[in-house]
Amino acid sequence: MDAHALLEPFDRMLAAISAPAAVRAVEAGGDASAMLSELAQSGFLDALVPEEAGGAGLSLAGIAPLIEAIGAHAVPLPVAETMVARALLARAGVASRDGPIALATAGVPGQIVPCGLVAAHVLIDLGDRLVLASADALAVTPTGVHHALAARIGWEGTPVGRDITRPPAGLRALAAIVRATLIAGAAHRLLEVTTRHANERVQFGKPIGRQQALQQNLAVMAENAVAARIAAQLGCAQGLDVSLAAAAVAKSTASSVAARLAGTAHAVHGAIGISEEFDLQLLTRRLHEWRLADGSEGYWNGVLGAARLADPAGSVDWIRAEVFA
């Protein structure tokens, strides 16, 4: 199946079920079950599951545009995470579970997990194996951040659940690529709405986008959005068996531009962008949360740099072999 043919219906569905009002409702503690059943019925949650196991058999690169769309629509459920988790379950021959699955990639209790408040299950990386635990069997605590769906996920001793084989590079690497792709999607949407605002908002008798200072900042914003997307694509190109280096490039780049993109978007919008009833914050809050999730740019730079310094090759040769191979 061609993922590009799927993008249009998927995007249309997300626009219908995850309109800003719906996102706000879930963030305010509302019920997400209608949104969830729509997603489940659509079949998209099994996009990465092999065809023999009843899925669509698409590759991670193939569904990257769908993950971007999830980011762009600020969907208040861990949809991309669930897609990845269901693929890992299918691989391990484990029957899939209903409901959204969040990814806990740190292995320690008390970690902050995006969409933890709305997950039915959490796939936890314990270092030697993954455990799929029911949210009911875990301590799920709100972080106290206004409207955030992230939660602290905790357990006593070891978490109880179904063991699953751990991918060689770990769950964090895979989650980082998914996160980078979500960032890329949100970034491009942010770029569109910010550019539109600059062309519509009039001050000093002309659209503020006619001011050269703003044009220059928006041009850099475009560069950052393009960089996030292509770095995420580098990560997705490797499929589910990601390499640490490709994950690091993807997440380091996406994380480091995420905060800058959010900053420029708010600067261009002025005060209205800060207001709760304006939709901008639905995207910018997520950009900041995703930047910190599954390792920030500093974390991944450390991973990448240690690998690079252990190799005598030249830098361009090294990235060709480790990131582009």
Partner 1 sequence: MFDTLTLAALPPEDEALRPQIRAFIASHVAGLPADRRARSWQGFDAAFSRALGQAGFLGLTLPKAYGGQERGPFARFVVVEELLSAGAPVAAHWIADRQSAPLILGYGTDEQRRSYIPRICRGEALFCIGMSEPGSGSDLASVRTRAERTDKGWRVNGQKIWTTNAMHSDYMIALVRTSGTPEDRHAGLSQLIIDLKAPGVSVRPIVDLTGDAHFAEVFFDNVELSADALIGREGEGWKQVTAELAFERSGPERIYSSVVLLDAWIRHVQAVGRGDAGVLTGRFMAEIATLRAMSIACTARLALGESPVVEASIVKDRGTTFEQDLPVAIGDDLAAHPDEPVSDELYRTLLYVTHIAPSFSLRGGTREILRGIIARGMGLR
Nearest alpha-carbon partner for 159 in 221, 202, 111, 97? 111
- Report d(CA 297, CA 223) in Å as an integer: 18
**Of the two residues 129 and 196, which places its CB atom closer to partner 1 in the complex?**
196
Is 8 a binding residue for partner 1 by CB under 8 A? The answer is no
Is 270 a binding residue for partner 1 by CB under 8 A? The answer is no
Site residues (CB under 8 A) for partner 1, limited to 34-93: 61
**Of the two residues 79 and 237, which places its CB atom closer to partner 1 in the complex?**
237
- Report d(CA 255, CA 171) in Å as an integer: 18
- Report d(CA 226, CA 187) in Å as an integer: 9
Site residues (CB under 8 A) for partner 1, limited to 129-188: 188
CB of 304 to partner 1, least distance (A): 3
Is 267 a binding residue for partner 1 by CB under 8 A? The answer is no
- Report d(CA 174, CA 13) in Å as an integer: 25
H helices of the chain, in order, are: 3-17, 20-27, 33-42, 60-72, 79-91, 171-200, 212-236, 244-269, 280-292, 297-309, 315-322
CB of 120 to partner 1, least distance (A): 34
**Of the two residues 128 and 212, which places its CB atom closer to partner 1 in the complex?**
212
**Contact string (CB under 8 A) for partner 1, positions 235-264, x = contact:** --x-------x--xx--xx--x--------
CB-based burial of residue 166 (10 Å sphere; 0-12 exposed, 13-18 middle, 19+ buried)?
middle
**Of the two residues 79 and 246, which places its CB atom closer to partner 1 in the complex?**
246
Distances (CA, A) of 6 to 67, 185, 234: 12, 16, 21
Is 287 a binding residue for partner 1 by CB under 8 A? The answer is no
Binding site for partner 1 (CB under 8 A): 61, 188, 191-192, 195, 198-199, 209-210, 212, 214-216, 218-220, 222-223, 225-227, 229-231, 233-234, 237, 245, 248-249, 252-253, 256, 297-298, 300-306, 308-309, 312, 314-319, 323-324
